[in-house]
């Protein structure tokens, strides 16, 4: 078994290597000096991070006693978080509706297939393209960002959710069907509670994903921290970009810790020990 796994991984690596070689047409020389270039770019242009992004902006005048609350970093990050929060909630609810109509163990195939095609269509446009579309339709600002992320969330979470539903144990579904519970009741009272752990995990992952992608869609004018990143990139202020990227990293780590805390409420006891708020921040001795 161990040798077979080793063999499969070796073959896959070889295939990947061959494919890459084909893609770059064997021109491996381009990698030469790449590491050096990266090192020069990082040390001369990005390092040290410029932390002025977490100081109050000169205009408008800061009315808060804490400077940080008037900074580009805070304001941009908060707008990104708000966009991601609204889009994740709306997208999650929309995805639940569609995924319940796409899971083969919940609906007949003639319903599941068209809904799956619809979800694939929504998913095939990346959030960036959705953002460009909504910026064209609605104009610059957070509303375009919210709509772009909501659509992408529906497509992406919808697939994760229907695959989760299809993987659930059949016995609870069969018992509730035989009892004569209506489809809506089975979804709300059996399917969703039974998959709550996975659904919460996916919800938190999507929120984190949307926060990260807030940077990308901001670049096309859909609001959030990406707007500032885009501006600093234009003016070659890479130290400020790097500081903002660190800020995003910190937020993503915090969301991950929150996710661990939230999911511990629906985990099997003993599988994962429920963390306390203290040991989310400080490791246990």
Partner 1 sequence: MVEAVLELKNLSVGYDEPLISNINLEVFPGEVITILGPSGIGKTTLVRTIAGLIRPLSGSFDLNVERRGGLGYIPQRLGLVRHATVAHNVSLGARTRVGFSLNMWKERSQRTMDALRMLGIADKSNEPVRRLSGGQQRRVATARTLAQRPQLMLADEFLGELDHSNVEIVFEAVQNLVDDGTAVIMIEHHDDNAQLFATRIWEIQDGKIADISIKEWKNRKTGGEEE
The pair of structure tokens assigned to 193 is: 């509670």
Contact with partner 1 (CB under 8 A) among 194, 205, 219, 239: 194
Contact with partner 1 (CB under 8 A) among 39, 189, 276, 279: 189
Kindly write out the interface string for residues 195-214 of this chain, putting x where it contacts partner 1 by CB under 8 A and - elsewhere. xxx-----------------
What gap in Å lies between CA 226 and CA 128, rounded to an integer?
A: 12
Residue 166's nearest CA partner among 237, 100, 95 is 100
Instruction: Tell me the window of 50-58, 95-103, 106-114, 164-172 that interacts with partner 1 (CB under 8 A).
Output: 164-172
Contact with partner 1 (CB under 8 A) among 190, 219, 260, 261: 190
Of residues 216-235, which lie at the interface with partner 1 (CB under 8 A)? none
Q: What 3-state DSSP class applies to 168? A: coil
Q: Which is nearer to partner 1, 120 or 185 (CB)?
A: 185
Instruction: Tell me the window of 107-115, 145-153, 189-197, 246-254 that interacts with partner 1 (CB under 8 A).
Output: 189-197
Q: Give the count of residues interacting with partner 1 (CB under 8 A).
A: 24
Q: How far is the CB of 170 from partner 1 (least distance, A)?
A: 9
Q: How far is the CB of 173 from partner 1 (least distance, A)?
A: 8
Backbone angles phi, psi at 56, to 5 degrees: -60, 140
Kindly write out the interface string for residues 166-185 of this chain, putting x where it contacts partner 1 by CB under 8 A and - elsewhere. ---x-xxxxxxxxxxxx--x
DSSP annotation of 65 reads S
What gap in Å lies between CA 9 and CA 184, rounded to an integer?
A: 44
Q: How far is the CB of 263 from partner 1 (least distance, A)?
A: 11
Q: What 3-state DSSP class applies to 24? A: coil
Q: How far is the CB of 264 from partner 1 (least distance, A)?
A: 13
Q: Which is nearer to partner 1, 63 or 271 (CB)?
A: 271
Residue 53's nearest CA partner among 217, 234, 248, 220 is 248
DSSP per-residue string spanning 150-170: HHHHHHHHHHHHHHHHHTS-H
What gap in Å lies between CA 105 and CA 126, rounded to an integer?
A: 29
Of residues 237-276, which lie at the interface with partner 1 (CB under 8 A)? 266, 268-269
Q: Which is nearer to partner 1, 61 or 169 (CB)?
A: 169
What gap in Å lies between CA 212 and CA 210, rounded to an integer?
A: 5
Whether the bond between 84 and the residue before it is cis, its omega within 30 degrees of 0, is: no
Beta bridge partners of 56: 71
DSSP annotation of 71 reads B
The pair of structure tokens assigned to 227 is: 């707007």
Q: Which is nearer to partner 1, 107 or 118 (CB)?
A: 107
Residues of this chain that bind partner 1 (CB under 8 A): 169, 171-182, 185, 189-190, 193-197, 266, 268-269
């Amino acid at each position: 078994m161990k040798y077979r796994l080793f063999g499969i991984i070796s073959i896959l690596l070889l295939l990947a290597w061959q494919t890459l070689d084909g893609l770059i047409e064997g021109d491996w020389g381009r990698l030469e000096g790449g590491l050096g270039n990266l090192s020069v770019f990082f040390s001369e242009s990005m390092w040290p991070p410029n932390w002025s992004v977490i100081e109050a902006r000169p205009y408008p005048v800061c009315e808060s006693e804490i400077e940080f609350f008037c900074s580009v970093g805070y304001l941009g990050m908060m707008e990104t978080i708000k966009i991601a929060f609204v889009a994740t909630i709306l997208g999650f609810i929309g995805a639940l509706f569609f995924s319940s109509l796409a899971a083969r163990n919940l609906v007949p195939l003639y319903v599941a297939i068209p809904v799956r095609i619809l979800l694939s269509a929504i998913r095939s446009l990346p959030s960036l393209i959705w953002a460009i579309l909504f910026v064209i339709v609605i104009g610059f600002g957070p509303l375009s960002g919210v709509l772009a992320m909501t659509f992408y969330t529906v497509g992406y979470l919808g697939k994760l959710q229907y695959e989760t539903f299809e993987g659930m144990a059949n016995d609870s579904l069969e018992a509730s069907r035989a009892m004569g519970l209506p489809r809506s009741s089975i979804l709300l009272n059996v399917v969703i509670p039974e998959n709550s752990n996975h659904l919460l995990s996916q919800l938190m992952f999507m929120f984190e994903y949307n926060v990260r992608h807030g940077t990308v869609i901001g670049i096309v004018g859909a609001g959030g921290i990406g707007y500032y990143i885009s501006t600093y990139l234009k003016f070659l202020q890479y130290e400020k970009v790097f500081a903002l990227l660190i800020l995003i990293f910190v937020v993503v780590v915090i969301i991950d810790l929150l996710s661990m805390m939230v999911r511990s409420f629906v985990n099997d006891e003993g599988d994962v020990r429920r963390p306390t708020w203290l040991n989310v921040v400080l490791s246990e001795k």
